[in-house]
Every structure is written in structure tokens, then in C-alpha cells.
């Protein structure tokens, strides 16, 4: 097991052959993660997707050292997170699913305490920036127990960023929030990306992943089925519906074609008179369609 990667600059996150097995008393061992490997490029948003029980939370938990891998290695900015855990933690921020419950402290105190955890005892400028960006500044003196669920979610994000980490892990960041707050958080993720922060995102909202993620990895039953650029996976694993309205026809003609297939090839193959075409309507596939093809049709892909 190595403590530091030789390569410089190191990738923000490298997961190598990760296995996580849970030994439950009186039951057979449960292998939640089965030899998963992937890495993140600097400044990208990477979506880790999969159905419930796929292993997403187990992977996140091992990255932030809440759990110990059964085998495999994880490097954060080049540091092995088991051997050099302090150095690795300095480079990562983590937003868990659970809402914080420090009810008797106020917002600013929470961020001061978190800054102190990283040895940052004069961090007011950074804290004020985060409070402003996340629309919490006017609530900075409120006790946490007085905050709405959406405000608590934003405070979690601010808390994860007080030390300006290079890598941010977002575990279901918009679960249970309203549409307006979800849109605000999407915009903030884009701001962080522009600042060069690398983001690993888990989400059940596939439209969220499609909008935010440069690349995604699809997990199923602890195995990483595939990794690729979001647009490429949509093109490869989805179909699109084409409706062609021709002159003197009451109902449009309907065709299902591969996402990357040119419309011109369809017209040639079907020997359609281009001059008679009045309208073409195309319904593109999306990430949810690709997800269903890979995960829900897994027997066909085995």
C-alpha cells in the first residue's frame, strides 16, 4: 500500500479496486462495493448514479474515512486517505445526506467551529463569502434549530467549504428541497466548478445529473457498470423518436432511431420525398433513458 502518488499534479480523486464488505452478526457477509475503480479530472463534476443499495453511500463513506475499505486504495489529491488521512481530509469537503442538528449554536458559530477544525482561526472573509453566496448572511445569528430545512441544507454546504477544499463530495444535496432551492444549489455548483473545485455528486434526480455532470458512473449492486461523458452515454444508450409530417397525410409518420443516427440517413432509408415534408419533430433521449437501458435491462447486458 502506497501513501503518496508519484505523479504531479495528482488527480483530485483516484479510487482503485475498492471493495467494502459488511459482516453482519448471524448473516452472510454483504459485499456492498465490488472492485470499483474510477478517477476524477480536475475541475469536473462527476455523478455517481445508481438505484438504492447500489453502493453509492458506501463509496462516499470510504472516501471521507467514515468507513474503512475491506480492500483497495483511495487517493485524495495524491494522498492515501488511510495512511495520510489528515492530509487527505485537508483537501476534501463533504456534504452528507443528514441535516445537521447543532440546534443551540448559531450559523456563524457553526462555521467558526468548522474552521477551527482545520486550524483556520481567522477565517471571517471566507465565512462571509459563503454566507453571502448561499443566502445565509442575514440569518448568520440565528440558532440552527430556527432554520428551515432548506437553510440547514445550505449551511451544510457552507460548512463543507470553509477550508476551500479542492474536492467536494455532495451526497444527495438536493434531496427533500423545493424546486427554487434546488435551482439555487445547481447554480452554486456551477460557480464552484468555475472556481476549479472538483465535485463528486450522488443524486436520485437524473435530470440534475444530466444538467450538472460532465461525466457519470453508473453503479449497480456494488459494481461500476460504466463511466463516460454524460452526452456520450445518452447518445450511445438511448433512442430518439422522430415524427415526420408530410403533405396530404393526416397523421405524421413515426420512427425510432439510434440517438446518433443522422436524420438524413432515415430519409434515404425510408425513401421519403423531401419536398413533401412539412415538419419534423425529434424527441431526444435523456440520461434517465440511458440509466434504464443499462441498469433496468441488466439481464440483457450481462
Q: What is the mean pLDDT of residues 27-52?
A: 94
Q: Is the pLDDT of residue 183 over 60?
A: yes
**pLDDT for residue 193 is more than 50:** yes
List, for residues 101-135, the tens digit of each pLDDT value.
777 899 999 999 999 999 998 899 999 999 999 99
Q: What is the pLDDT of residue 15?
A: 97
- The mean predicted confidence, pLDDT, of the chain is 89
Higher pLDDT, 239 or 88: 88
Q: What is the DSSP string of 165-225?
A: -SEEEEESTTTT--HHHHHHHHHHHHHHHHTT-EEEEE-S-HHHHHHH-SEEEEEETTEEE
Q: What's the count of helices (H) and strands (E) in the chain, helices before strands?
A: 11, 13
Does 101 or 163 have the greater pLDDT score? 163
Distance CA 98, CA 276 (A): 58
> Does 254 have pLDDT greater than 90?
no
Kindly report the pTM of this predicted structure: 0.85
The residue ranges of every structural domain in the chain are 234-301
Contact 290, 238 (CB under 8 A): yes
* Cβ–Cβ < 8 Å for 131, 140: yes
Residue 298 is predicted with a pLDDT of 54
Average pLDDT of the residues in 209-220: 95
What per-residue confidence (pLDDT) applies to 3? 56
Closest CA to 74 of 99, 48, 110, 37: 37
Percent of the chain with pLDDT over 70: 94
Find the range with the poorest average confidence among 56-70, 169-183, 270-284, 287-301: 287-301
Q: Where are the beta strands (DSSP E) in the chain?
A: 13-22, 30-40, 45-49, 71-76, 79-80, 92-95, 167-171, 198-202, 215-220, 223-229, 239-246, 253-258, 277-283
At 4 the pLDDT is: 58
The answer, yes or no, to whether residue 40 has pLDDT greater than 70, is yes
Residue 175, Ramachandran bin (φ over 0: left; ψ between -120 and 50: alpha; else beta): beta
Quick one: average pLDDT of 16-45?
Answer: 94
Q: 243: which strand partners?
A: 254, 281
Identify which of 217, 145, 198, 208 has the alpha carbon closest to the alpha carbon of residue 175: 208
Percent of the chain residues topping a pLDDT of 90: 59
Quick check: 295 pLDDT over 60?
yes
Q: What is the pLDDT of residues 61-85, one digit of tens each?
A: 999 999 999 999 999 999 999 999 9
Contact status, residue 214 vs residue 193, Cβ threshold 8 Å: no
**Is the separation of the CB atoms in 153 and 122 below 8 Å?**
no
Q: Which residue has the higher pLDDT, 281 or 196?
A: 196
pLDDT given at position 26? 84
pLDDT of residue 7 exceeding 60, the answer is: no
pLDDT of residue 301: 47
Range of lowest pLDDT (155-164, 170-179, 268-277): 268-277
What confidence tier does 8 reach under pLDDT thresholds 50, 70, 90? very low
Amino acid at each position: 500500500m502506497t501513501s503518496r502518488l508519484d505523479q504531479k499534479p495528482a488527480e483530485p480523486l483516484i479510487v482503485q479496486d475498492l471493495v467494502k464488505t459488511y459482516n453482519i452478526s448471524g448473516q452472510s457477509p454483504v459485499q456492498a462495493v465490488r472492485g470499483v475503480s474510477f478517477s476524477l479530472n480536475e475541475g469536473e463534476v462527476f455523478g455517481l448514479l445508481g438505484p438504492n443499495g447500489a453502493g453509492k453511500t458506501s463509496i462516499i463513506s470510504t472516501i471521507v474515512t467514515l468507513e474503512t475499505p475491506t480492500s483497495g486504495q483511495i487517493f485524495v489529491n495524491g494522498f492515501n486517505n488511510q495512511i495520510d488521512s489528515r492530509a487527505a481530509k485537508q483537501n476534501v469537503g463533504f456534504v452528507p445526506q443528514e441535516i445537521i442538528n447543532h440546534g443551540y449554536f448559531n450559523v456563524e458559530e457553526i462555521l467558526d467551529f468548522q474552521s477551527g477544525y482545520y486550524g483556520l482561526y481567522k477565517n471571517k472573509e471566507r465565512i462571509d463569502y459563503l454566507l453571502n453566496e448561499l443566502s445565509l448572511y442575514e440569518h448568520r445569528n440565528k440558532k440552527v434549530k430556527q432554520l428551515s430545512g432548506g437553510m440547514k441544507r445550505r449551511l451544510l454546504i457552507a460548512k463543507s467549504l470553509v477550508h476551500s477544499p479542492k474536492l467536494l463530495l455532495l451526497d444527495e444535496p438536493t434531496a427533500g428541497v423545493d424546486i427554487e432551492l434546488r435551482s439555487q444549489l445547481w447554480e452554486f455548483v456551477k460557480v464552484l466548478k468555475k472556481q476549479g473545485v472538483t465535485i463528486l455528486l450522488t443524486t436520485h434526480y437524473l435530470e440534475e445529473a444530466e444538467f450538472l455532470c460532465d461525466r457519470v458512473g453508473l453503479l449497480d449492486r456494488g459494481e461500476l457498470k460504466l463511466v463516460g461523458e454524460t452526452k456520450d452515454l445518452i447518445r450511445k444508450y438511448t433512442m430518439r423518436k422522430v415524427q415526420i409530417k408530410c403533405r396530404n397525410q393526416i397523421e405524421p409518420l413515426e420512427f425510432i432511431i439510434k440517438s446518433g443516427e443522422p436524420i438524413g440517413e432515415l430519409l434515404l432509408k425510408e425513401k421519403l420525398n423531401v419536398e413533401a415534408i412539412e415538419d419534423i419533430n425529434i424527441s431526444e433521449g435523456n440520461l434517465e433513458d440511458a440509466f434504464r437501458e443499462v441498469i433496468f435491462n441488466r439481464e440483457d447486458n450481462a
